[in-house]
């Protein structure tokens, strides 16, 4: 097993989540394009679409509030189209004449005439539209609404939504099958309690004729942050990229993916089943934050962007399918288990002149592909095998030439791959076959990064972590929020995992972490990094991360009405919150926390007696998006917190309320 060198400085890492169980910091993210009120305008390309002739590339730029128009051959920017809100997903019509852009925050889809380079109309959607898919036959757009956990079906002829389809949680990507019979939806976060050892995000498959969910596919336990999807040319398979968090075991060390790994899941669309989940990491290097994935026209290759490690991976997916079917090449069949390298009489690709006998003695087991051929049930072992793709020579990884690659697009002739490098503010052009960089297209002059931008970059950069296994954003997804998991940090014993907190309002809500053991935000960050990684971050790094975290802001709740006001139910709930229920005693406005600890009757087994079952009062700001609830994530909803998990009636006077009162109270809390 590879060991880290405690004397080697690895500047930062795994993050404020593995930061001391989790600090409560401010939310709303600039990684997500949210305004910080800076004078400088950073360019941050996110989603990309390429014209049918391959000459023009369009990319959303959330921090600039535009869509950039790029000349591929000339490697220059032709211009920008100003948009509302934060531009996110972009998609072109088949003829390339119309570009559709999700305008997050504005609650609209912008319809752009590409010839005129101007917005021709806007179509209402959810408040936080994230991604789009166009159905050319039915002339519809499918819009992923992250605020409503739904997909809007927009009739282009009418220019309005004709149906809203509920899905699991925060849909992040939508892809149509070639025959347009199905719409495959990636749900960004898991929807369930984190005490469930099988907790995982899901993929929703919508029947496009009936406009309803035909099936829901659970990913491997611990799956979260599902951001990229593509469909095979024959429409049989969907490929989803995501992280797999090892939340069921104590956070003890990072070696060999003991905390977070990153995966490709293969889904049978018509059957509504998951065939396999295969890790994209190497044995001693994570493939952090897979963001987007595209498939070749012959269905034999995939390209995946890895935002956390600034790389593109190329996967021979055709070969992978053959291996799963038991078609094992003779050369591969001879290779033993991949956790130890094969002997090499001469210096070879692994750079090893020989393998000592005592190490070779460990290589007694057949590799995973051979074991699967003998016993197909062992396919589940791929979820934990860091060497399967490498043993089969089915994966290669290339640097993108930029920082934090997000959206990618394959040129029509499939010779080039376009990569949006978010923090570099440019799109790089790569040779799709070799990974060689062929050029860079800047979106504009990129200002020098200030402390907040530097901190944001560190927050999302897994290369600062030991073996590149994770970044701060790995646990605090969505711009400093949550991963939907709970983690067992050994600082307070073992067997008492804690829920990942939303990083909202850090500056004003000390003390930090669920046990309130840290009083100063800067010290919380510094000691958290040291404790999690055995590294010593520089003072500048700590200051920059703190600057970023303090800059974050909560977003208005989608539970407010169209005018941003409380609904009638929420208004009644507010009266109860501040009156009869006495909730404001522990959750006073405006931060909705008294910054104290309380025992509310939900003690975790194995918790140290010195804490007396008392946990930090969480802020209720943005609570609508941070399920599951309570310190160990045992409650799925706020109503569960107040009913199912309050048998002793310790939440002030809530136990005496009627069912209708509780519903009103919940409506108010979700509006905060």
Q: What is the pLDDT of residues 52-68, one digit of tens each?
A: 999 999 999 999 999 99
- Please classify residue 197 by burial: count the beta carbons closer than 10 Å to its beta carbon, then call 0-12 exposed, 13-18 middle and 19+ buried: exposed
**Among residues 125, 146, 166, which one ends one of the domains?**
166
Q: What is the pTM of this model?
A: 0.90
Is 419 inside a domain boundary? no
Q: Could you tell me the pLDDT band of residue 357, with boundaries at 50, 70 and 90?
A: low
3-class state of residue 574 by DSSP: helix
- Residue 398: partners with Cβ closer than 8 Å, 6 or more residues away: 311, 312, 313, 314, 430, 435
Is 229 inside a domain boundary? no
Closest residue by Cα to residue 24 from 467, 594, 440: 594
* Mean of all residue pLDDT scores within the chain: 88
Q: What was the pLDDT predicted at 560?
A: 95
Angle (CA) 48 52 58, round 5°: 25
Question: Residue 592: which CATH number?
Answer: 1.10.760.10
- Contact (CB, 8 A) for 441 and 226: no
> Which range is least confidently modeled, 35-44, 68-77, 432-441?
35-44
Over residues 134-149, mean pLDDT: 95
Question: Residue 80: which CATH number?
Answer: 2.130.10.10
Over residues 496-504, mean pLDDT: 87
286 φ/ψ angles, rounded to the nearest 5 degrees: -75, 160
Is 201 inside a domain boundary? no
Crossing angle for the helix pair 659-670 and 568-578, to the nearest 10 degrees: 100
Please state, for a pLDDT cut of 70, what percent of the chain lies above it: 89
- Contact (CB, 8 A) for 269 and 238: yes
**Among residues 135, 166, 197, which one ends one of the domains?**
166
Is 106 inside a domain boundary? yes
Closest residue by Cα to residue 476 from 289, 284, 670: 289
Distances (CA, A) of 89 to 33, 65, 108, 145, 229: 13, 13, 12, 11, 13
DSSP secondary structure of 523-550: HHHHHHHHHHHS----HHHHHHHHHHHH
Q: What was the pLDDT predicted at 619?
A: 93
**Among residues 145, 166, 187, which one ends one of the domains?**
166
Q: What domain range is 129 assigned to?
A: 51-166
CA pair distance 400, 515, nearest whole angstrom:
41
- Contact (CB, 8 A) for 245 and 259: yes
State the CB neighbour count (10 A cutoff) for residue 229.
Answer: 24
- Contact (CB, 8 A) for 132 and 140: no
Is 457 inside a domain boundary? no
Which residue reads 């991949």 in tokens? 338
Is 341 inside a domain boundary? no
Domain total of the chain: 2
Is 55 inside a domain boundary? yes
Q: Where are the beta strands (DSSP E) in 467-586?
A: 486-487, 498-499
- Residue 410: partners with Cβ closer than 8 Å, 6 or more residues away: 50, 294, 296, 303, 416, 417, 418, 432
Is 482 inside a domain boundary? no
Over residues 20-27, mean pLDDT: 30
Over residues 152-173, mean pLDDT: 97
């Amino acid at each position: 097993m590879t060991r880290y060198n405690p004397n080697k400085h690895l500047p930062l890492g795994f993050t404020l989540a593995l930061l001391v169980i989790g600090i409560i910091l401010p939310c709303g993210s600039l990684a997500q394009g949210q305004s910080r009120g800076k004078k400088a305008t950073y360019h941050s390309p996110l989603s990309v679409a390429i014209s049918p002739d391959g000459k023009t590339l369009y990319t959303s730029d959330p921090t600039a509030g535009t869509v950039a128009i790029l000349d591929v051959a000339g490697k220059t920017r032709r211009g920008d189209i100003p948009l509302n809100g934060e531009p996110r997903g972009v998609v072109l019509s088949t003829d390339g004449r119309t570009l559709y852009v999700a305008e997050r925050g504005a609650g609209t889809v912008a319809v752009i005439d590409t010839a005129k380079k101007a917005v021709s109309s806007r179509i209402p959607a959810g408040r936080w539209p994230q991604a789009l898919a166009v159905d050319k036959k039915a002339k519809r757009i499918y819009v992923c609404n992250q605020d409503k956990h739904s997909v809007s079906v927009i009739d282009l002829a009418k220019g309005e939504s004709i149906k809203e389809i509920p899905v699991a949680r925060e849909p992040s990507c939508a892809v149509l099958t070639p025959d347009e019979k199905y719409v495959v939806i990636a749900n960004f976060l898991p929807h369930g309690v984190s005490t469930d050892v099988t907790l995982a995000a899901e993929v929703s498959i919508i029947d496009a004729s009936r406009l309803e969910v035909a099936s829901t596919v659970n990913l491997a336990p611990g799956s979260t942050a599902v951001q990229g999807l593509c469909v095979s040319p024959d429409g049989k398979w969907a490929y989803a990229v995501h992280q797999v968090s090892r939340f069921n075991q104590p956070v003890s060390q990072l070696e060999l993916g003991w905390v977070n790994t990153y995966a490709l899941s293969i889904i049978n669309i018509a059957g509504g089943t998951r065939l396999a989940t295969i890790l994209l990491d190497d044995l001693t290097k994570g493939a952090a934050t897979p963001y987007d994935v595209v498939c070749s026209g012959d269905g034999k290759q995939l390209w995946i962007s890895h935002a956390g490690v600034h790389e593109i991976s190329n996967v021979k997916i055709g070969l992978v399918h053959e291996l799963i079917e038991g078609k094992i090449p003779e050369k591969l069949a001879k290779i033993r288990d991949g956790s130890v390298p094969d002997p090499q009489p001469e210096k070879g690709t692994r750079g090893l002149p020989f393998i000592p006998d005592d190490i070779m003695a460990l290589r007694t087991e057949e590799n995973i592909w051979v074991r699967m051929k003998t016993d197909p049930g062992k396919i589940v072992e791929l979820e934990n095998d860091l060497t399967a793709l490498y043993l089969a020579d089915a994966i290669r990884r290339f640097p993108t030439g930029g920082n934090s690659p997000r959206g990618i697009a394959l040129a029509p002739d499939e010779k080039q791959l376009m990569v949006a490098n978010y923090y570099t503010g440019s799109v790089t052009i790569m040779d799709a076959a070799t990974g060689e960089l062929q050029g860079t297209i800047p979106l504009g002059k990129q200002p020098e990064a200030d402390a907040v931008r530097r901190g944001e970059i560190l927050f999302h950069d897994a290369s600062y972590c030991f073996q590149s296994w994770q970044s701060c954003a790995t646990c605090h997804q969505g711009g400093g929020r949550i991963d939907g998991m709970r983690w067992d940090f050994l600082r307070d014993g073992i067997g008492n995992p804690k829920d990942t907190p939303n990083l909202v309002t850090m500056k004003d809500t000390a003390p930090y972490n669920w046990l309130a053991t840290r009083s100063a935000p800067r010290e919380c960050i510094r000691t958290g990094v040291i404790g999690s990684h055995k590294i010593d971050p520089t003072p500048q790094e700590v200051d920059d991360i703190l600057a970023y975290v303090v800059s974050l802001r909560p977003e208005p709740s989608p539970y407010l009405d169209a005018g941003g006001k409380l609904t009638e139910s929420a208004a009644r709930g507010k009266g109860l919150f501040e009156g009869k229920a006495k909730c404001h005693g522990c959750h006073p406005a405006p931060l909705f926390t008294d910054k104290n600890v309380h025992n509310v009757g939900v003690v975790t087994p194995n918790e140290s007696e010195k804490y007396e079952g008392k946990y930090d009062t969480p802020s209720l700001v943005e609570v609508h998006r941070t399920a599951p609830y309570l310190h160990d994530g045992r409650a799925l909803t706020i109503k569960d917190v107040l009913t199912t998990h309050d048998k002793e009636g310790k939440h002030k006077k809530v136990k005496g309320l009627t069912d209708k009162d509780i519903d009103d109270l919940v409506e108010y809390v979700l509006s905060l």
